[in-house]
Structure 1
């Protein structure tokens, strides 16, 4: 695990919440003692489930500002998205480690989890789309200058997938618990950079400029990488693990574009062409983001097949 990931996903048990470890034999004994019914009596002022998941903490993190009924839907769905960003990043960090270790079967297991996480992220817009313009406008002013664009977990996702823009570190410069890890992630190879290195290790001809560069710079499509993927895709057998890897990456890129597009349509439906809260022109900015493509050579190679 990288230092950046430790900063994003620290292992921390709140004070006073030590969770008892119960093994299979003890679980069988409990089920026998209760006749298969749920345990109902616990010592203390909580329950093991609440303590394990910190549910009481989680459900006290909602602080809508306007007093309107509808703000809660917007508030909670924003928090849900942040949790899903964190989980997706957690999985992508592990996938990257496995790619570096040449363990593609393990990486494929990770991609199979990332796909439904992305589906959950996209479906979050379905809830937000229930907000009418009048309902949203009733609390919008209370956002002030707050914008999802300022999410550092979202920025971690963009960085690990290869969309590096160093200027986008600036909103987080004053956040000492966030900035160092985010800066490290920006300056480190992305998952796609490590995939390209894997292609080279497998004997595919990759130009040196794609293997040793300033990792903090925005990725520029490379002809040698496109040619390498073309060679891989000319052998689309299920046992060609590089081909399977390419398709898993395309699944991620495809779902990411769908998430961005759903974001665009949802904002346009609720706000029309109003300026955004974070300084953008709103849907115009979102349209420019939708055009971005992760793993560009994998998109380009489709035309050449």
Structure 2
């Protein structure tokens, strides 16, 4: 399992609780409006000047800035969710489902915020989008490597989806590492087995880089968690994972509606058929046996 990337730190003066209290006393409780350095500490910590320099528009269209920024916001949220789901996966691998549940709890509002990103773009009319759509060229969200890493860490594995990123070796290596690593769901199923579920060894040791194949034993194991005498901790995990899958499905469904509202049935910029391709993608469900286990209850 690949190690998480090191945390990048920016050298800066630290403050203790006592120092913060002393500064507030000296200022009379008012915020300081000057900095001891040439740059403000907030600017240094958040790198705001760099962040706000990354919007490079290609038209004078009134809605392009909204489209551009929301695309960047979604990428940041993909990055955050990838980090949280990777952490939860590793916590399950360490047999620490309580920590994984806390991590998934933290990720859930991020997923809901991601869905709300579509509400901002919903305010853009078809005419406003058409003012700059041609200038996007072949750029398409399907080329997002951070989104692909997110899908891979959740378990939607497809080796063919490495191809869009092959032109940038450093990015291709990151995506390939997620493809080759166990997913969050792989580790959840292994946890079920360690907690006594009768899941065949060949299923537990299947190639994690291949598309996941549902198994009846996993379906039964999840169903057992919901029975009155079932493992309450595993039931909580099942519901937390259902929340993840539900919010991801909701994100795809709202995306489909937004595309239909904005461009109708036109082909996508990435050469997809547009609505038909998105509609098929929206039918996918992460953690499939968690959904079908409802049939056994």
| TM-score normalised per structure 1 | 0.94
Query: 1:90 — aligned with what?
Result: 83
Aligned counterparts of 2:70 and 2:7: Cα–Cα separation in 1:
24
Which ranges of 4 or more aligned residues in structure 1 deviate by more than 4 Å?
Answer: none
Alpha-carbon RMSD = 1.4
SS in 1 for 2:50: helix
Aligned counterparts of 1:2 and 1:218: Cα–Cα separation in 2:
20
Question: Which of the residues 238, 250, 260 maps onto 1:246?
Answer: 238
Question: Which of the residues 265, 280, 289 maps onto 1:288?
Answer: 280
Query: 1:198 — aligned with what?
Result: 191
Q: 1:1-305 counterparts in 2 under 5 A?
A: 2-3=2-3, 5-6=4-5, 11-13=7-9, 18-235=11-228, 240-305=232-297
How far the C-alpha of 1:174 sits from its partner, in A, is: 1.6
How far the C-alpha of 1:42 sits from its partner, in A, is: 1.3
The answer to which of 263-272 and 39-48 deviates more is 39-48
Cα pair 1:235 1:243 within 8 Å, conserved? no
Cα pair 1:253 1:294 within 8 Å, conserved? yes
How far the C-alpha of 1:285 sits from its partner, in A, is: 0.6
How far the C-alpha of 1:2 sits from its partner, in A, is: 3.0
How far the C-alpha of 1:103 sits from its partner, in A, is: 1.3
Aligned counterparts of 2:13 and 2:2: Cα–Cα separation in 1:
29
How far the C-alpha of 1:236 sits from its partner, in A, is: 7.2
Aligned counterparts of 1:236 and 1:189: Cα–Cα separation in 2:
30
Gaps of 5+ in 2: none
How far the C-alpha of 1:213 sits from its partner, in A, is: 1.2
How far the C-alpha of 1:227 sits from its partner, in A, is: 1.2
Cα pair 1:236 1:243 within 8 Å, conserved? no
Aligned counterparts of 1:235 and 1:294: Cα–Cα separation in 2:
25
Aligned counterparts of 1:207 and 1:169: Cα–Cα separation in 2:
30
Gaps of 5+ in 1: none
Aligned counterparts of 1:146 and 1:11: Cα–Cα separation in 2:
30
Aligned counterparts of 1:246 and 1:300: Cα–Cα separation in 2:
12
How far the C-alpha of 1:57 sits from its partner, in A, is: 0.6
Equivalenced residue count is 297
Deviations 1:267-287 (A, max 9, x none): 000000000000101111100
Aligned counterparts of 2:105 and 2:181: Cα–Cα separation in 1:
25
